[in-house]
Amino acid sequence: MTRLIDLPTLAHLVHGIGVPRFMALLAERIEADFARWPAFDKSARTASHSARGVIELMPVADATHYSFKYVNGHPFNPAQGLPTVMAFGVLAEVATGYPLLLAELTLTTALRTAAASVVAARALARRDSRSMALIGNGAQSEFQALAFHALLGIAELRVFDVDRAATDKLVRNLAAAAPALRVRRAASTAEAVRGADIVTTATADKARATILTPGMVEPGMHLNAVGGDCPGKTELHADVLRGSRIFVEYEPQTRTEGEIQQLAADHPVTELWRVLTDQAPGRRHAGEVTVFDSVGFALEDFSALQVLHRLAHERGVGRDIALVPTDGDPKDLFGRMHPAAAAPRLRLRLRSVA
């Protein structure tokens, strides 16, 4: 049987563990999987673009497990009462193709994106970083704030969004979720980033925006660029990039989708896994400006699905569904159309995940 983790189940699981602990588990698994980067069969995601958004498939596999995520990005969705991003994913055995897990990944994507941001910041930001500016206060913002507060020691957050209601929502949610985190509203991006150790940009507009300009960047900043994640969508002025050292997840994908789509194809970047395995330096000195050009990569979803699958069995959450035939004559698919034959027998097919 295939274990199903739907949105209510995932929310119950995260609530039971606690958001900081859950993101710590994600960060631990993401860092461990990035450290064995050569073991994975990797490719850039397959995207279907339209005038109003994009639908993508994100596959990755090692010798034992395969995963993919279905995810969309539609900036106009909130006006229709729908999230900008919606996702689900599958974890399967490589040896048999058997699907072990079918899981919601909308909420999980926000959690793993924040966890991946922290993994990068640990390697790239100054160790004494305590303040962060958060530009873009929409659906991703609470997750980024909580991850940096709980896992990196950020004590002060300066927030700005052109949508004041989004900032109101963020401030209200953080007051309840992280009362020790000092949250300051800013009147502009420039005010929010002034003096910040880390700047996170997480805006949603599908446009070549310049949320951050060179005059706003100060020596020693770490820039966590989360919002630019498809062709034609950027947040940083190109000269900000030219004046920084740039780190990416998977270069072939980021060249097309990330902030570096604005730069020449041979502009130097470093894949994050090389820093995590000590094959390339991270921050070289306190005054260096670093950029994590994060577009989201399938390996992060692989890590998240592994964590979900393990926790689901350890804690007995989710339910088993007959997604594929697992009994009877495997060559008699036609016979499965009979109602009696199609009714699943309660025979669990439990698989372990390393």
Tokens representing 305?
Answer: 């699905």
Which residue among the candidates 33, 161, 229, 301 is catalytic per the annotation?
Answer: 229
Q: Are strands 41-42 and 46-50 parallel, antiparallel or unpaired?
A: unpaired
Contact 129, 161 (CB under 8 A): no
* Sheet hosting strand 198-201, strand order edge to edge: 182-185, 156-160, 131-135, 198-201, 222-225, 290-293, 245-248, 270-271
End-to-end alpha carbon distance in the chain: 19
For residue 33, indicate whether it is catalytic: no
Please tell me the distance from the alpha carbon of residue 34 to that of residue 13, in angstroms, as a whole number.
Answer: 25
Contacts of 195 by beta carbon, 8 Å cutoff, 6+ apart: 131, 218
- Please give the C-alpha separations between residue 35 and each of 25, 273, 304, in angstroms, as whole numbers: 15, 6, 15
Please tell me the distance from the alpha carbon of residue 288 to that of residue 220, in angstroms, as a whole number.
Answer: 5
Please tell me the distance from the alpha carbon of residue 252 to that of residue 44, in angstroms, as a whole number.
Answer: 7
Contact 350, 30 (CB under 8 A): no
Q: What are phi and psi of 42, to 5 degrees?
A: -115, 150
Tokens representing 184?
Answer: 């300051």
Please tell me the distance from the alpha carbon of residue 202 to that of residue 228, in angstroms, as a whole number.
Answer: 8
Q: Got the DSSP string for 237-270? A: -HHHHHTSEEEES-HHHHHHHSGGGGS-TT---E
Q: What are phi and psi of 159, to 5 degrees?
A: -120, 145
Contacts of 131 by beta carbon, 8 Å cutoff, 6+ apart: 154, 155, 156, 157, 158, 195, 196, 197, 198
The residues annotated with a catalytic role in the active site are: 229
